[in-house]
Structure 1
Amino acid sequence: MDPQLWHCSECGDEREFVQPSCVDGHTEDGGLCPEWACIDCGAALVTGVDVRELVASGLTHAA
């Protein structure tokens, strides 16, 4: 997939993000991998994730 422009919280402004190779199986059924990385600093960005699922799974905490 082509690079996408998004705000990078680490860099403090808009940067290009690319998708690394998906090792979690998101693309096996033709779906899109939600993981992106800033090309300047490597900060991770996850798109299209329901935050409620992350909280329920314990991967993050509610603020």
Structure 2
Amino acid sequence: MSDLQQWPCPTCEHDTDFEQPECIDGHTEDGGACPEWACTDCGTALVSGDVHRPAAVTLRHAA
């Protein structure tokens, strides 16, 4: 676990400490920071920084 940050937790509904679990997704392999944080009270996960959003996809159903 790394440094603690304090942010408002949407589940706890007040400011709580968040910590970074060990990164298993490879975010830190190039020296970057892992964007994932977890509330130390309830475990709610937050993602910080630049988030890549998937492109909108139109689904078609066969008739």
TM norm. shorter chain > 0.5: yes
The number of residues matched between the two structures is 56
Deviation sequence 1:14-60 (CA, Å, 0-9, x none): 0000000000100011100000000000000000133xx324277xx
For 2:16 and 2:4, the matched residues in 1 are separated by: 10
Q: Higher helix fraction: Structure 1 or Structure 2?
A: 1
Match of 2:55 in 1: 56
RMSD over aligned CA atoms reads: 1.7
Query: Counterpart of 1:41?
Result: 42
Unaligned ranges ≥5, structure 1: 59-63
| Alignment-derived partner of residue 14 in structure 1 | 15
1:25/1:41 CA distance change after superposition, 3 Å: same
**Structure of higher CA gyration radius:** 2
- The aligned counterpart of 1:29 is 30
SS in 1 for 2:53: helix
Runs (4+) of structure 1 moved beyond 6 Å?
none
Q: Which residue of the partner structure matches residue 61 of structure 1?
A: none
